[in-house]
Chain A
C-alpha cells in the first residue's frame, strides 16, 4: 500500500471500535505451519491478548495467499485486512490501543532497535534453518509446507518457496554461513536479549510491550517445536531468565490453554 493509502486506511480504522468477530489467519496448525510462521503468529496473538482484544484464530491452508503482503499471520478486522506484526501494531494504535505509550523517545528507539534485532537475527536464522539446511528442508519443511496439496502441486510449491528463501538469504549475505555460525548468531542474539531483560519481569520493566510479544512468540515457538535436532532449543534454554520470561507470559496470557502447552 502506498503511504497515502495507509494513512487513509488508518483514519478509517480509527473510527470503528474493535468488532466481536476479528479473525487471525494462519496456516494449518498441525500439519502445515512452519517454525517461522508459527513464531510470527504467536507473537501477534500474544500482542492482541496483551491489549485485551479478543480474536479468533482460523487455520487455513491458503493463508499465505490470502494475506495482502504474502506473509502470515494476518488479521481480518471489520472490513480491513492487515498482515505482519509491524502494521498490525500501527493499526491497533490507530484504534486507540497501544502498549508503548508510556515509553519516552529513547526507550521507544531502544524498543524498535530490539525488535529489529529479533527480526534480523532470530527470524532470519529460523528461515535459514528451515529452508537452507538441506536435511531439515527435506525432512520437515518441504513435506509440511506442501502437505495440503496433491501431486504435482506440492513439489512445485515447496521448491518455489525454498528457492525464494534461498534467494533472499543470498541477497543479505547469509548464504555463505554455516549452520554452526547461524546457531552462534542465535546464541548471541539470545545473550543480548537476556542481558537487556536482566531481572525485570518485562523488557521495559512493569508493562509488557510489543517487544515482549515478539520475543515471546519466537522463543516459545523455538522451545516447543520439534526439529531434526534440539540444538536451537538448547541455545535458548541456556538463558534462564528468558525461560522464566516465556513461562511467565504463558501463565499470564494463555491461562486457559495451560493444559496443552508445556515448556
Chain B
C-alpha cells in the first residue's frame, strides 16, 4: 500500500472515536480488519455541509456510504468476514437490514427529533463543531433530513404526525435491541470469537446510544438493561480503541463502567437504578454546576446558562 487511505468523518466525543453512526461503523471495521486509515475529522471545516460523511479517499477514488466503503476495503484485502460461512454471510445481510429498518429511525428520532435531546445535546455539539457561519445551518439541516426520513418511511398516510409514529418506532427499536441481545447471547461477538462486519454495524448503531449523555433517553434506558450489548460495546472500545471507560464519572449516571466483574456490574446496575430514581425526584441534579462535563468549558456562557435554566421533566 503506497499511501494510507484517508477517511473523512465526524469527530469523537463521549469516549467514542466518532459520534456519527456511519463513521463509527467504518472506523470499527477498519480496526477489526487491520486497515490503516488516516482519519481526518471534518469538524470545524466547510466539509461539514459539503461532504457526505463518511468518505474514503484512496489514490484518487472516493467512496461513500458504509456498505460501499466496506466492500472497497474487502477488495483491498482487508476482510474481517473471511472466516464466515455462506449462511453467516447471509445472516449478516439480514441483520444489517433489521438494524436499518427498525433501529435507525428510533436513533434518528432520539438524537435529532426529540426536542429535549436535540436542544440540549445534539444541536450544541454539532454547532460547536462546525465553523461559523455553518453552525447555524448544519444541525438544522441534519434534523430536517432525519425527520423527513422517519416520516416518509414509517408514517403511514393517516399518521402523518410525528407524535403518533413515535410510539411505533420506539417499540420496534426496543424489539430490535431485544432480538440482537438474544442473538448475541453470551458470546463475545456475533459470530464466535472474532469480530466481523456485523459487529461493526451493531457497534456503530448502539455505541452513541450507550455513551451519549442524553437528557431524555427511554431507548438508552432500555439498552442499558441489556447487559450483553453494553458489555459488547465496552469490550470493543477497550480492546480496539484503547478508551478508558473510567474517564467520565458523573455526567451520565446511566452508563456502566466496569464490564468485567459480574458482581461489580450488578452493584453498578443497582446504583444506576437508584440514581435514576434520584434523578427523577430531583430535576436539577443534572444541571447543577459541579456536574457540568468538561467539554462544555469552551462553549460560550450563554449556552451553559441556557442549559442550567432548562427544566427537565
Give A contacts to B, CB under 8 Å. 2-3, 68-71, 105-106, 108-110, 112-114, 116-117, 119-121, 167-168, 171-173, 188-189, 191-193, 195-196, 198
Q: Are the C-beta atoms of B101 and A120 separated by less than 8 Å?
A: yes
Question: Which residues of chain B are near A110, meaning CB under 8 Å?
Answer: 91, 94, 183
With an 8 A cutoff between CB atoms, is B158 at the interface? yes
Question: Which residues of chain A are near B87, meaning CB under 8 Å?
Answer: 195-196, 198
Question: Which residues of chain B are near A109, meaning CB under 8 Å?
Answer: 179-180, 182-183
With an 8 A cutoff between CB atoms, is B185 at the interface? yes
**Given A3-B167, A171-B152, A172-B153, are A193 and B97 also a contact pair (CB < 8 Å)?**
no
A71-B154 Cα distance, complex, nearest whole Å: 12
Q: Are the C-beta atoms of A192 and B98 separated by less than 8 Å?
A: no
Question: Which residues of chain A are near B90, meaning CB under 8 Å?
Answer: 191-193, 195-196
Specify the chain A residue showing the minimal Cβ separation from B101: A116
Specify the chain A residue showing the minimal Cβ separation from B183: A109
**Which residues, 75 to 95 on B, are CB-close (under 8 Å) to A?**
86-87, 89-91, 93-95
**Which residues, 101 to 124 on B, are CB-close (under 8 Å) to A?**
101-102
**Given A193-B90, A195-B90, A196-B90, are A113 and B98 also a contact pair (CB < 8 Å)?**
yes
Q: How many A-B residue pairs have CB under 8 A?
A: 84
Question: Which residues of chain B are near A196, meaning CB under 8 Å?
Answer: 87, 90-91, 94
Question: Which residues of chain A are near B182, meaning CB under 8 Å?
Answer: 105-106, 108-109
Question: Which residues of chain A are near B179, meaning CB under 8 Å?
Answer: 105, 108-109, 112-113
**Which residues, 4 to 58 on B, are CB-close (under 8 Å) to A?**
none
Q: Are the C-beta atoms of A113 and B86 separated by less than 8 Å?
A: no
Smallest beta-carbon distance A14→chain B, Å: 19
Chain A contact surface mostly: helix
With an 8 A cutoff between CB atoms, is B171 at the interface? yes
With an 8 A cutoff between CB atoms, is B157 at the interface? yes
Question: Which residues of chain B are near A106, meaning CB under 8 Å?
Answer: 182-183, 185
A-B contact pairs, 26 of them (CB 8 A): A3-B168, A3-B171, A68-B158, A71-B156, A105-B179, A106-B185, A110-B91, A110-B183, A113-B91, A113-B94, A113-B95, A113-B98, A113-B179, A116-B100, A119-B101, A120-B100, A172-B149, A172-B152, A173-B65, A189-B93, A192-B90, A192-B94, A193-B90, A195-B87, A196-B90, A196-B91
A119-B172 Cα distance, complex, nearest whole Å: 15
Question: Which residues of chain A are near B98, meaning CB under 8 Å?
Answer: 112-113, 116-117
Specify the chain B residue showing the minimal Cβ separation from A196: B90
Q: Are the C-beta atoms of A69 and B156 separated by less than 8 Å?
A: yes
Specify the chain A residue showing the minimal Cβ separation from B180: A109
With an 8 A cutoff between CB atoms, is B164 at the interface? yes
**Given A70-B156, A70-B158, A109-B182, are A171 and B93 also a contact pair (CB < 8 Å)?**
no
Question: Which residues of chain B are near A113, meaning CB under 8 Å?
Answer: 91, 94-95, 97-98, 179
Question: Which residues of chain A are near B101, meaning CB under 8 Å?
Answer: 116, 119-120
A113-B179 Cα distance, complex, nearest whole Å: 9
Specify the chain B residue showing the minimal Cβ separation from A64: B157
A116-B185 Cα distance, complex, nearest whole Å: 21
A106-B98 Cα distance, complex, nearest whole Å: 14
Question: Which residues of chain B are near A192, meaning CB under 8 Å?
Answer: 89-90, 93-94
Q: Given contacts A106-B183, A117-B94, A117-B98, could you give 17 more A-B pairs where the C-beta distance is less than 8 Å?
A: A2-B164, A69-B156, A69-B157, A105-B179, A106-B185, A109-B180, A109-B183, A113-B97, A113-B179, A116-B98, A116-B100, A119-B97, A120-B101, A171-B152, A195-B86, A195-B87, A195-B89
Smallest beta-carbon distance A86→chain B, Å: 10
